[in-house]
Chains A and B, each alone.
Chain A
Amino acid sequence: MADMSPTVIVVEDEQKLRRFIRLALEADGLQVFEADSVRRGLIEAGTRQPDLLVLDLGLPDGDGIDLIRDLRTWSDIPVLVLSARTEEEVKVNALNAGADDYLTKPFGAAELTARVRAHLRRRARAVGTPQAQFGFGAVKVDLGRRLVEKDGETLHLTPIEFRLLAYLISNPDCVLTHRQLLNAVWGPSHTDDSHYVRIYMGHLRRKLEANPAMPRHILTESGIGYRFVA
């Protein structure tokens, strides 16, 4: 039974916080291993075959971003970053280095377990065959036929809007930075035109959200990027 439960490694130097995270995740039925430094974290990640990594960015023996870069050379497990800082730049750097999501301290048990569960679900799904059809809210997307429906009616999306939506759908729950989106949809030569991303996101939101003033699926992470939630 223990083998079946997903494994999570928590890299955090503040012992009390680490204990709380462990407690919260174990209550959710996950197996948790702790590490208090970049070095220990990498060893644990290499030996425990984890399904997810919870990582604090400020560690005593180095920068958490370096750990992400190292990890990404041999593993694609979800990485959830904990940040005590308010600077968006740090988060953007972590995300561009390969982190999937972030949580700003202080955070509660509910937020943490919700995020962790979402990413584990995504990972489990990714192992299987990619879905050609996908639905969220009142919207149905057929990636193969390039068809988008809302409330049963076909929506007209421009090619860029469609590519953007397809990319969002294939990375649910992840925070995607402006740079990542530009790179994926417009190509590497447009990485400075982040206003394009914002304009097209606005288009998508108006077309897909039930109430664009209170979006439920395409969420803005100010100063960082976007998150798509099914």
Chain B
Amino acid sequence: MSESRPDPDQLLSRIQAEEARARRGKLRIFFGASAGVGKTYAMLGAARQQLLQGVDVLVGVVETHGRMETEVMADGLERLPLREVDYRGRVLREFDLDGALARKPALILVDELAHSNVQGSRHPKRWQDVEELLAAGIDVYTTVNVQHLETLNDVVSGITGIRVWETVPDRIFDTADEVVLVDLPPNELMQRLKEGKVYLPNQAERAIRNFFRKGNLIALRELALRRTADRVDDDMLEYRRNRLVTPVWQTRESLLACIGPGAGGERVVRSAARIAGKLEAPWHAIYVETPALQRLDDERRQHVLRNLKLAQDLGAQTATLAGRTAEQTAIDYAREHNLGTLVVGRAQGHGWRLWRRAFAARIGERAPDLNVTQVACGDERGARPRAQPSGVPRAWRDYAMAGVLCVGAALLSTFLHPLFDLANIVMVFLLAVVLAGVRYGRGPAVFASFLSVAAFDFFFVPPRLSFAVSDVQYLLTFLIMLAVGLITGQLTAGFKYQAHVATRREQRMRALYEMSRDLSGALLAEQIAEIGERFLASEFAARTALALVDENDRLLPPLPSARPVSAFDHGVARWAFDHGECAGAGTDTLPGSPVLYLPLKAPMRLRGVLAVELPDAGRLLIPEQRRLLDTFSSLLAIAIERVHYVEVARDTTVQMESERLRNSLLSAISHDIRTPLSVLVGLADSIFLSKPPPTAEQAEIAQAMRETTLRINAQVSNMLDMARLQAGRIQLKREWQPLEETVVAGIKGMEAALLGHRIDLLIPEELPLVEIDAVLMERVIGNLLENAAKYTPAGTTISIGARADGDTVEFWVADRGPGVPRGKEEAIFKKFERGARESTIAGVGLGLAICRAIVEAHGGRIHAENPPDGGARFVVRLPAGSPPHVEAETEVETETESERSPEP
């Protein structure tokens, strides 16, 4: 049962992958074993077919190399003009990525995927351009030769003896939506070559002729066929997984490539990538920096970093680790990340260190549960860069100082010699060696050891002032002295170096900690920029610029900085921000720029771009440094987001506070005005209640007083309401209700005013519920009715109707009066505006203004019109929304009751 049930996580990831794929453009690769098999021709043919089917096809770049048949195929297809790049005085023509993105065809042809772009282009490689095209939703046709695949690159160079430097990561090939193998038997290819149908660049003609040997071509063809077959296999697997033909394999193999300092590292990386690709396994690549390796010279360090970068490009997760022994650190890492197989290089012995067992053997001994795969890389030993002495001038001083220490020891011993035994004199020299180790490191310590032995022999061992030794037993003394000197010197120097590294690491941690503490206290974006700048300056000696975004996601110019970057390129920053990826130095996008642009990713959204300019761009290649920068930028992003929300919260509080103040002010005014008005009405009424009863004249005065007061009250209410409605957002208490009820309540409220009129209520029973604030809407209806009553002669009819109309519900109040004055249909809704000037009809002209404010707060519209059959008509249109479902009552209960009810 469980066999056929797909794992929900897997299903989800498949759905996500499919969604991402649907948004992206489709990539079709025309894949061939070598140049001349006709990939470009096949690609153009396929494109023509697409064109015939009405697809918008654009030729981005196609290398026809002047071949007639290819030129003919390209004819009639729209071509994107190439971009002209000025490179060191020569004008080169490159694919115009921005032009293609701007033109945005449905399908674009980009030949030679492995091509390297001219320096100064956005991406160093054409496949990166293609990635961007795909991300923009454009389908791409492209071509690749087998030797350009990254993991096959060294295999091909092994076969043909020619190394190709332009490569495409396998991941591009593997994730392509379609791969079309363009195949040509070697004999035919040779034939074509003879006929000159294969384009060969002139400069390396001989080498390339060599390349086109039959044996090579057969091997390359096999490679291409096999690689395609692998892919087809993958497609098949995926198909089966989708169809659930067989249960999914649960166990996942995973690999750890251990990169050593030697040149074999590259082989290890490529092999691990190949194996991981075959197994479809995730893989990691690490380099362990042991104390011994910390002293590697720059060139070899760069070599290691290049290998790590290569691993990253091939899809590995990479890390540089520090540890005492490489094998233990690697084992710990493997266990921690649940990696079952380690891929290590098999070096050809260690020269004089014969007792040392191979790295693989050491791992096997410590972790019998892990698989170890050894990759041969001994044959490249010759290519290993030789260690070169570095920092020579400084070293001379250290050696001299070590010598001085030995001289000091010799002088001291001269004084001590008469008093102490020779064995004690040895100690003095050993002290000098240890001091040399501590202060000047390994080399000087070794130097001091030898010098000490020599000095001891020369000055103190009889016969003195001669290297000759009378007593043979001193030879043993020399030997032990030398050994002890060398060992202690090495040890102290090693410890000193480790202590130095530990201090550095601790400093870095403390800086990070201090920065996050400072950031947590920052209240302004400027403060954050300043803190970040300080940290980067002390940690990386970097120049920085911080650009934030405004509310509309527009990137603002960078904030002022004490150490600004030399050139802030807004375009690159914008790119990094739009794509949410790093750009500039040390990345794949515009690596020529001296500045690295890091998008600031906060939990909610991107908050800006951090531009960093390091004095030594090479540091950006070190994974640790990059990770530190990434950590730093996310800390920065979070701080910026926090500050943003602090501002939002503050604004909201201020707004709420002012809203509250306004409301309490209005209700205070309302209370203070209405109380005396209530008293006035009460006093007027009291006259009627007084004994003896008032005369007719007095009663009339009292009545007039009462009415006037009520009218003032109504007008004050209107004005207060207007103030409330105008003073910003009206808080509606919207509830779903039948419109009829509100209308009826409105009629009831205006009962007194409507006494002389006939009311016609034409609201259909099946009118859907409306979501309104009943009190305010009753106000609207009351005001409209009051107006109708006021401006029409007594005895006429006022009709109220309603109807549902699609996504609006409409109701109207119509009268049979003189109608709205022509041309004032709109003006009457303005404040203090009245239909007829200087009219005797009471009112200040707020009623309709209030109506409009209320209706518009409901998202509706109100207008006045004079229908052809006379009178005025005020129409209110409200959004229908989606009324709640009302359950019909079941009548079963009633049946039983009605049966029962006739019984007494």
| A residues lining the B interface (CB < 8 Å) | 14, 16-17, 19-21, 23-24, 27, 58, 84-88, 105-110, 145-147, 156-160, 193-196, 198-199, 201-202, 205-206, 212-215, 219-223
Contacts and interface: CB of A to CB of B under 8 A. Distances in A.
B678 A222 contact: no
A195 B737 contact: yes
A223 B741 contact: no
B682 interface: yes
Contacts of A107: 678, 681
A214 B759 CA distance: 9
Contact of A20 (B686, B745, B897): B686
A145 B901 contact: yes
B154 interface: no
Interface centre among B685, B749, B774 (most CB of A within 10 A): B685
**At the interface, is chain B mostly helix, strand, loop or mixed?**
helix
B679 A198 contact: no
A159 B778 contact: no
Given A24-B689, A85-B670, A222 B675 contact: no
Contacts, number: 133
B706 A108 contact: yes
B735 interface: yes
A16 B676 CA distance: 9
Given A20-B686, A158-B894, A159-B889, A219 B775 contact: no
B89 interface: no
A223 B733 contact: yes
Interface centre among B677, B717, B735, B884 (most CB of A within 10 A): B735
Nearest to B763: A213
Nearest to A213: B761
Interface centre among B679, B688, B709 (most CB of A within 10 A): B679
Interface of B: 667, 670-671, 674-675, 677-683, 685-686, 688-689, 706, 709-710, 713, 717, 733, 735-738, 740-742, 744-745, 747-749, 751, 759, 761, 765, 769, 773-775, 778, 884, 886, 889, 891, 893-894, 897-898, 900-901, 904
A84 B886 contact: no
Contacts of B893: 159
B680 A106 contact: yes
Nearest to A15: B679
B894 A198 contact: no
Given A147-B901, A158-B891, A202-B740, A85 B682 contact: no
Interface centre among B680, B778, B889 (most CB of A within 10 A): B889
Contacts of B674: 84, 105-106
Interface centre among B667, B675, B769 (most CB of A within 10 A): B675
Given A109-B685, A195-B886, A84 B675 contact: yes
A17 B675 contact: yes
Shortest beta-carbon contacts, A-B, top 5? A20-B682, A106-B678, A223-B775, A213-B761, A109-B685
A19 B690 CA distance: 12
B730 to A, nearest CB: 13
Given A24-B689, A106-B681, A202-B740, A159 B747 contact: no
A195 B736 contact: yes
Contact of B889 (A14, A23, A146, A158): A158
Contacts of A206: 765
Nearest to A87: B667
A222 B774 contact: yes
Contacts of A160: 889
A144 B205 CA distance: 113
Nearest to B897: A146
A110 B686 CA distance: 11
Contact of A17 (B682, B735, B745, B886): B682
A105 to B, nearest CB: 4
A21 B901 contact: no
A190 to B, nearest CB: 11
A106 B894 contact: no
B703 to A, nearest CB: 11
B738 A202 contact: yes
Contacts of A195: 735-737, 769, 884, 886
26 contacts: A14-B678, A20-B685, A21-B682, A23-B689, A58-B671, A84-B670, A85-B667, A85-B671, A105-B675, A105-B678, A106-B678, A109-B682, A109-B686, A146-B900, A159-B897, A194-B737, A195-B884, A202-B740, A212-B744, A213-B744, A214-B747, A214-B759, A220-B742, A220-B745, A223-B775, A223-B778
A199 B689 contact: no
Given A196-B886, A223-B774, A201 B741 contact: yes
A109 B681 CA distance: 9
Contacts of B891: 158
Given A147-B901, A195-B886, A27 B759 contact: no
Contacts of A19: 686
Contacts of A110: 685
Given A146-B897, A158-B889, A220 B738 contact: no
A222 B739 CA distance: 12
B709 A106 contact: yes
Given A105-B678, A202-B741, A214-B748, 17 more contacts: A16-B683, A17-B675, A20-B685, A106-B709, A109-B685, A109-B686, A147-B901, A158-B891, A160-B889, A194-B735, A195-B735, A202-B740, A214-B751, A215-B748, A220-B744, A222-B774, A223-B778
A223 B765 CA distance: 22
Contact of B689 (A85, A109, A194): A109
B581 to A, nearest CB: 48
A160 B893 CA distance: 10
B738 to A, nearest CB: 5
Contacts of A147: 901
A227 B793 CA distance: 33
B11 to A, nearest CB: 37
B678 A17 contact: yes
A17 B686 contact: no
Given A106-B710, A214-B747, A23 B686 contact: yes
Contacts of B683: 16, 20
A157 B893 CA distance: 11
A222 B745 contact: yes
A87 B745 CA distance: 17
Contacts of A17: 675, 678-679, 682
